[in-house]
Amino acid sequence: MQYRNLGRSGLKVSQLSYGAWVSFGNQLDVKEAKSLLQCCRDNGVNFFDNAEVYANGRAEEIMGQAIRELGWKRSDIVVSTKIFWGGSGPNDKGLSRKHIVEGTKASLKRLDMDYVDVIYCHRPDSSTPIEETVRAMNYAIDKGWAFYWGTSEWSAQQITEAWGIAERLDLLGPVVEQPEYNLLSRHKVESEYLPLYTNYGLGLTTWSPLASGVLTGKYSKGAIPPDSRFALENYKPIADELGVPLSQLAIAWCAANPNVSSVITGATKESQIQENMKAIDVIPLLTPAVMEKIEAVVQSRPKRPESYRTMEVNTGNDGMSKVVGTGIVCLETNIGTKLLLKDVRHAPDVRLHLISASKLDDDGYFGIFNNGQLKLTKGSLVVARGKKSSGLYWFQASIFTNLVNAVESNSSQNYGTRVESH
């Protein structure tokens, strides 16, 4: 087993992990759970995933009791749970401060643990301000109930907003996202989230590597999405050529993505765990030539649409910086410096976050910020104001409809740029 950092954090998680989604409480009780968990540990797994909603909380109870009876040292393992669906009451679900605090305490009680290593927001909550959620997750960490927090099935826009709020408030942002990822579901991991890996060091713990069994070959008739050109009869020869089952090839393919920290697997039998864990030995077989063969068969690689969304920063000296999509730009500003948004097609919502200023007592700013955030639309003109003649400011420009990370600059006044390119 190999171990990877969870994103940019120092936490090490096994490349393959085990989740209790469809097994504990629904099909298995404590006795069976102990056998499965020990089988995972024997194969080097140290990361175990759960959620308050799994089997209405019973999955957490079973996992906690099994780990306690197995006598494992708590520091040897990484346990996560997820908060969102905690009950039927109006405040028993969502990401309000109330439910995050109460739901986390209830999960820890069911797990019979003092803390979890990672706590996820199981889905985005449109009815709760993201700032409230960010503050609540940091409260849980400050109380010692968790070490890290993350998201599950959030959009890149929502994660970016959470990070912008966290940085403004000097709080911890989400270090990990838990999306579905397999040969049939790739857009978020391989396209939408791309800027997040470099901008925030986001890690991934992905679920459903077998696409609910489709990629094992068990459901080859009629189970492939209707808009997919994927055909199992063309994919299986690649597995046969490598001498591995379809399931191992599918799991290994997910784990081979360098942005994936851990692939969450599921199983109800020890034999299934043993089979899944052998996927580790398949990863070295996935040479560039083999990966291209797979691509030729599945034809599911996401296409990145061309971006026509450009923000031009006029620095007041006939020079300008262009930030295409999402980036971080540092400008040495003078009083009267103008920020002009031009040529923005299909993306009327651009947000500019003031990250920091080198001299806070200068009172310099671009326009009037609302809690450190300024919304711009096409044709917006914002002028730098302040008491003194210059200052150094870091901004994060985000165009949310198409997150592409690149930067061009021909400005003599541009103090510098710090943007990673893909």
Residue-level length of the chain: 422
Cα separation, 94 vs 121, whole angstroms: 9
**Active-site hit among 3, 18, 54, 200:** 54
Whether the CB-CB separation of 11 and 5 falls below 8 Å is answered with yes
| 118 bridge partner residues | 80, 148
Cα separation, 213 vs 220, whole angstroms: 9
Cα separation, 66 vs 52, whole angstroms: 17
Kindly state the tokens that stand for 24. Answer: 């504990």
Whether the CB-CB separation of 186 and 192 falls below 8 Å is answered with no
Neighbour-count burial of 315, counting CB atoms closer than 10 A to its CB (0-12 exposed, 13-18 middle, 19+ buried): buried
Instruction: Tell me the backbone φ, ψ of residue 91, rounded to 5 degrees.
Output: -105, 10
Cα separation, 254 vs 232, whole angstroms: 17
Q: What DSSP string describes 240-260?
A: HHHT--HHHHHHHHHHTSTTE
Whether the CB-CB separation of 160 and 196 falls below 8 Å is answered with yes
Select from 364, 419, 373 the least CA-distant residue to 393: 364
Kindly state the tokens that stand for 240. Answer: 């046969």
Determine whether 197 is an active site residue. Answer: no
Q: What DSSP string describes 64-76?
A: HHHHHHHT--GGG
Counting Cα atoms < 13 Å in the Cβ hemisphere of 116 gives 32
- The C-alpha angle with vertex 347 and arms to 346 and 348, in degrees rounded to 5, equals 115
Kindly state the tokens that stand for 200. Answer: 């925030």
Cα separation, 351 vs 335, whole angstroms: 22
Neighbour-count burial of 338, counting CB atoms closer than 10 A to its CB (0-12 exposed, 13-18 middle, 19+ buried): middle
Active centre residues (catalytic): 54
